[in-house]
Amino acid sequence: MIKSDFSQSMPDDHGTVHFVGIGGAGMSGIAHLFVTAGVPISGSDIRATETVEGLRARGVSVAIGHDAANLGSAETVVVTGAIAEDNPEFVAARERGLPIVHRAQALAWLTRNHRLVAIAGAHGKTTSTAMIITALLQLGNDPSFVNGGVIRSLGVSAAPGSSDVFVVEADESDGSFLLYDTAISLITNVDPDHLDHFGSEEAFEDAFVTFARTAKERVVISSDDPRSVAVTGRLGDRAVTTFGQAETADVRLLDVESGSTVSFTLRYRGADYSTRLRVAGLHNAINAAGAFGVLVALDYEPQAALDTISAFEGTERRFELRGTVGGVSVYDDFAHHPTEIRAALSGARGVVGTGRLIPIFQPHLYTRTRDMAGQFRDVLETLADHTIIVPVYGARQDPIPGVTGALIADLYADSSRVSVIDDWQEAADYAASIAEPGDFVIPMGGGDIYRIIPQLLDALGKRHEA
């Protein structure tokens, strides 16, 4: 995979812009905003998805498969770090001397001249971003936005707006969140991750300090995880709002009751404000507290801010119900870090009742699987009833010899509660064979494990018919 290069900003005389990998969640949203801004664009991707068809419906020429000819007459090329060094379009762009712009620089160009709200953190940023966008729309603001996941109530992950506010999910994985000219930053947590890029936990923390210090108006940051507290302590006289369950939090989360939905109270400046969300889980109450901190920083009245957050209906791939067959419910979840898995399964436990939780887990990144195998085992064996582990999704990484899902499974104290299955159809068939009415089967991971869901629903249907 290519090394992320942020040295090239979007040129003013960009001409036609070609997106390599235009169907990705982040790229497609940026591409839609370029279309709205009147910029002629083209793109390519490896498969024709609904996202690709949505862009084609807006007049964008999208080629399937990567080929140098796809560049056509493009004068600027936008890429992500997920493409390979030998990608023919990337190679051809270099040979032609075209400006090659990282997608984060393209997004930074779009956000210029706006009051930017940027949300970062190892977990919870997609949901927190969506909560803020949902609330602003309910409050009569019309922000531009780019989120890392589709907002269920809106059916989109990105849209232009008429106000001066622009809300973005800022990606810390490759350091690109440092490119933005931010007014208000929200840091959901600083749980160490992406150490293949940063090299150490200390460097990861340093990057968040830099991100926070760039916020011109205010930093909203978790009060709960140790590295967030450490970051806060390094911000000097910056305007800071902390949120969470800690007694010292400026926005303090109290009285949490979670089942199929979650209710809670926020204590802010000596007053209490209560609501019930339409989604479940303590983690969503914490996300709402952070979103609340941003909204009051934007000068919205506290109770109105909280009431509008409660209109949030969730985002795609965040504990999203995809079907129920024979009493077995199939949920899709993006969780791919031990902390995210803990939050997702804890929330699911409050909903499933007496049923069992059966994740089909796709490890994400070889380095994360290698470095966190013990943490994955801890959370999966503790919170899931039976886990099916399928092959690692490498994303931007090449395989590492010996790094497979078996690294996690081999650490189980009770090996009867875990299965390693390399073939997806076999995994779907096996999940269907052990699931009983009332159980939740949850394909889980940050890669393409959601694509197993049709196979899983079909396998459940065949078993139910039999």
- Give the domain-ending residue among 309, 331, 346: 309
**CB proximity list for 200: less than 8 A, separation 6 or greater:** none
Contact 115, 145 (CB under 8 A): no
Determine which helix (DSSP H) or strand (DSSP E) holds 150, and give its type and residue range: strand 144-151
Residues 283 and 365 in one domain: no
Q: Using CA atoms, how far apart are residues 33 and 215, in angstroms rounded to an integer?
A: 24
Q: Using CA atoms, how far apart are residues 390 and 419, in angstroms rounded to an integer?
A: 9
Phi-psi region of 51 (alpha: psi -120 to 50; beta: other; left: phi over 0): alpha
Give start and end residues of each alpha helix (H) in 37-183: 50-57, 88-96, 103-111, 125-138
Give me the pLDDT at residue 195, please. Answer: 55
DSSP SS3 for 261: coil
At residue 170, what are phi and psi to the nearest 5 degrees?
A: -100, 125
Residues 210 and 137 in one domain: yes
Residue spans of beta strands (DSSP E) within 237-327 = 240-244, 251-258, 262-268, 271-276, 320-325
Q: Within a domain: residue 8?
A: no
The single residue of 51, 80, 169, 205 carrying the catalytic annotation is: 169
Which amino acid type is present at position 190?
A: V
At residue 88, what are phi and psi to the nearest 5 degrees?
A: -60, -30
**CB proximity list for 9: less than 8 A, separation 6 or greater:** 101, 105, 108, 109
Residues 329 and 263 in one domain: no
Residues 48 and 142 in one domain: no
Determine which helix (DSSP H) or strand (DSSP E) holds 17, and give its type and residue range: strand 17-20
The single residue of 76, 111, 125, 127 carrying the catalytic annotation is: 125
Low-confidence ranges of the chain (pLDDT < 50): none
Please report how the helices 201-213 and 226-233 are oriented relative to each other, as an axis angle in degrees rounded to 10. 50
31 C-beta neighbours (distance < 10 Å), count:
29
Q: Kind of pairing, strands 144-151 and 76-79?
A: unpaired
Q: Using CA atoms, how far apart are residues 309 and 298, in angstroms rounded to an integer?
A: 14
Q: Within a domain: residue 108?
A: no
Tally the domains of the chain: 3
Q: List the beta bridge partners of residue 158.
A: 146
Q: Using CA atoms, how far apart are residues 387 and 393, in angstroms rounded to an integer?
A: 17
Give me the pLDDT at residue 197, please. Answer: 56
Residues 302 and 413 in one domain: no
Residues 282 and 147 in one domain: yes
Closest to 266 (Cα-Cα) out of 237, 239, 240, 295: 295
pTM assigned to the model: 0.78
Q: Is 126 a catalytic residue?
A: yes
The single residue of 51, 80, 126, 387 carrying the catalytic annotation is: 126
Give me the pLDDT at residue 314, please. Answer: 77
Residue 428 lies in domain: 320-465
Contact 347, 258 (CB under 8 A): yes
Phi-psi region of 257 (alpha: psi -120 to 50; beta: other; left: phi over 0): beta
Write down the residue that tokens 């196979």 correspond to.
455
Residue 94: exposed, middle, or buried by beta-carbon count in 10 A (0-12, 13-18, 19+)? exposed
Q: Within a domain: residue 91?
A: yes
- Give the domain-ending residue among 102, 129, 149: 102
Contact 340, 375 (CB under 8 A): no
Q: Using CA atoms, how far apart are residues 309 and 328, in angstroms rounded to an integer?
A: 31
Give me the pLDDT at residue 171, please. Answer: 82
Q: Within a domain: residue 3?
A: no
In angstroms, the Cα distances linking 285 to 262, 275, 282, 288, 343 are 7, 10, 5, 5, 11
- Give the domain-ending residue among 54, 72, 102: 102
Q: Within a domain: residue 314?
A: no
Q: Is 462 a catalytic residue?
A: no
Q: Using CA atoms, how far apart are residues 43 and 15, in angstroms rounded to an integer?
A: 14
Q: Within a domain: residue 35?
A: yes
Closest to 315 (Cα-Cα) out of 188, 104, 132: 132
Residues 143 and 261 in one domain: yes
Q: Within a domain: residue 5?
A: no
